[in-house]
């Protein structure tokens, strides 16, 4: 496979870091750890090798993030693979969360993904190759009842809608897919979760490496398509 540049948001811990670790084993990949805490990202990058670099990317601050995108572009070029992993989970029903919590979830889980796709997908189509992986959740699935906390289910369902609709506008060998990693032992998932971050990352790595004839605009769990 030709050399690829891969950007993983929230890549300095949890599922994101496990995804970075899995993709970095292929030395043809330059893997960018997108993170708010640049020093934490640099620490992980130095551990993983020369083909892993940390870049500042704060999805909670739109104006700052747009500036970060330009820095990434100038230093590393246009990513061939974008993995939208970073997310926030605020507990509570629509009547229990406050406006700031909802707007934070909307910005990080949905609007930042919109901006990142708008920034990087055009160059993927121009080159004729690209992979976009949206880390969603069963809590964002209509088929599974949208049973999670309000802002999380709402925004993950919105992320799935982005996947489905953006797929219709892509051309060439450029694919976008959503995935559910399952319940994973991370800071978000908690210690009771049955899956390790590495297990949660397996489908993200699989989707980042999809061949040309694979699905576009689909929802996956455990490397298999599932209903929306």
CATH number at residue 102: 3.40.50.720
Once rounded to an integer, what is the mean pLDDT over residues 35-60? Answer: 97
pLDDT at 194: 61
Read out DSSP for the chain?
Answer: ---EEEEEETTTSHHHHHHHHHHHTSTTEEEEEEES-HHHHHHHHHHH-TTEEEEE--TT-HHHHHHHHHHHHHHH---SEEEE-------S-TTTS-HHHHHHHHIIIIIHHHHHHHHHHHHHHHHTEEEEEEE--GGG-TTTT--S-HHHHHHHHHHHHHHHHHHTT--SEEEEEEEE--SB-STTT-TT-SB-HHHHHHHHHHHHT--TTS-SS-EEETTEEE--
188 has pLDDT over 90: no
185 has pLDDT over 70: no
Q: Name the band, by pLDDT with cuts 50, 70 and 90, for residue 81.
A: very high
Q: Name the band, by pLDDT with cuts 50, 70 and 90, for residue 1.
A: low
Q: What is the pTM of this model?
A: 0.95
Report the mean per-residue pLDDT for the chain: 95
pLDDT at 196: 82
184 has pLDDT over 70: no
208-227: pLDDT as tens digits: 999 999 999 999 999 999 99
Q: State the total domains in the chain.
A: 1
Range of the domain at 36: 4-226
191-211: pLDDT as tens digits: 776 678 789 899 999 999 999
pLDDT at 94: 97
pLDDT at 2: 80
pLDDT above 90 as % of the chain: 90
pLDDT above 70 as % of the chain: 94
Task: Find the range with the poorest average confidence among 103-107, 132-136, 180-184, 200-204.
Answer: 180-184
């Amino acid at each position: 496979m030709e050399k690829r540049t891969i950007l993983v948001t929230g890549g300095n811990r949890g599922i994101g870091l496990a995804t970075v670790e899995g993709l970095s084993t292929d030395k043809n990949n330059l893997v960018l750890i997108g993170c708010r805490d640049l020093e934490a990202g640099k620490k992980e990058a130095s551990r993983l090798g020369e083909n892993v670099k940390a870049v500042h990317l704060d999805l909670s601050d739109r104006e700052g993030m747009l500036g970060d995108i330009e820095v990434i572009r100038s230093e590393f070029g246009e990513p061939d693979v974008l993995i939208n992993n970073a997310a926030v989970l605020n507990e509570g029903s629509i009547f229990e969360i406050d406006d700031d919590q909802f707007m934070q979830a909307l910005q990080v889980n949905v609007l930042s993904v919109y901006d990142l796709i708008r920034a990087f997908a055009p160059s993927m189509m121009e080159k004729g190759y690209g992979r976009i992986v949206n880390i969603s959740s069963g809590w964002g699935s209509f088929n599974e009842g949208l049973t999670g906390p309000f802002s999380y289910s709402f925004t993950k369902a919105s992320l799935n809608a982005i996947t489905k609709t953006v797929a219709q506008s892509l051309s060439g060998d450029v694919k976008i897919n959503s995935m559910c990693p399952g319940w994973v032992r991370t800071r978000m998932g908690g210690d009771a979760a049955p899956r390790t971050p590495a297990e949660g990352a397996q489908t993200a790595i699989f989707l980042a490496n999809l061949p040309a004839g694979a699905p576009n605009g689909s929802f996956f769990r455990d490397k298999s398509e599932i209903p929306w």
